[in-house]
Amino acid sequence: MSSLKEIKGRIVSVKSTQKITSAMKMVSSAKLRRAQARIENFLPYQNKLMDIQRSFLSSETDFTSPLAEKREVRAVAIVAVSSNSSFCGAFNSNIYHLFRKTFRQYEHLPQENIYVYALGKKIEDTLRKEELMLQGSYQELVDKTVFEEVKKLADELVDLFLSKKIDRVVLLYNHFKSTAVQVLTEEQFLPIELQAGTQPDRHSGVSVDYIVEPDRKTLLSSLIPKSLRSKIYSIILDSAAAEQAARMVAMQIATDNADDILGELTIQYNKQRQQSITSELLDIIGGAEALK
């Protein structure tokens, strides 16, 4: 049985840990608000870009793009987005398990035909330990998501596809649905799906017919690469928000668990203390009876 001193030491230790987890929760909460603001500021641009693209496709039914070419998959690129730090629950392990599941689908291909892009220190370190060949290090993209740097990555993937070095690009990331829910997501990045359809104006509900110069096909050829760049950028922002939400929930759970442990230790401490007092009283009474 633990002594009173040992129990008191454990109580002090748990209280100290609880202060840390509580502080980390507050920091993650502030970072989550900033991450959500970045997504909210970017989404109108991305949505409008996709609206215009679909509108043009609806009037150019014969439009084709080399980025939409479906080929037999002889080479593939897998882009997995994790975090650079831990203490975010199963956030990183979920991405790793999804990566392994996706990777197994292409294990029949030669190793050099599987291009792995690990965005984030956690997934990068794990895959390097497994001695997988990675296409560089992209840790800075996760903490400091600069569009120009993301554009380089997107353009590299597009160039590899157009040169037929790869036949498919898959994106793996955690989608931020709510503070409590992050959805593990796998999406095909290339080849693209040319989805046509007239999109109504979000405020008036009226379909928009754009007047364009020089012509729709030329603009579509320019819009598609832009939409691909914005897609990569948006999933990194999305993953960053999901990371902070996962960390905030994990730290809240840790703080609550510390409360439970403190309650149990306090009861144990009080029982031990009461038992010690009772034993001392019995000794005193026994000694007094012996003197009679």
pLDDT tens digits, one per residue of 217-253: 788 888 899 999 999 999 999 999 999 999 999 999 9
Give the per-residue pLDDT at 221: 84
**Sheet of 168-176, strands arranged across:** 114-119, 76-81, 168-176, 182-190
Cα of 82 vs its chain's centroid, Å: 5
Q: Which of 270, 280, 235 is nearest to 120 (CA)?
A: 235
Which segments of the chain have a pLDDT < 70?
1-2, 195-210, 292
Predicted pLDDT at 197: 56
* DSSP annotation of 67: G
* pLDDT at residue 129, rounded to an integer: 94
Residue-level pLDDT at 182: 92
Residue 1's pLDDT is 57
Domains of the chain: 27-248 (3.40.1380.10)
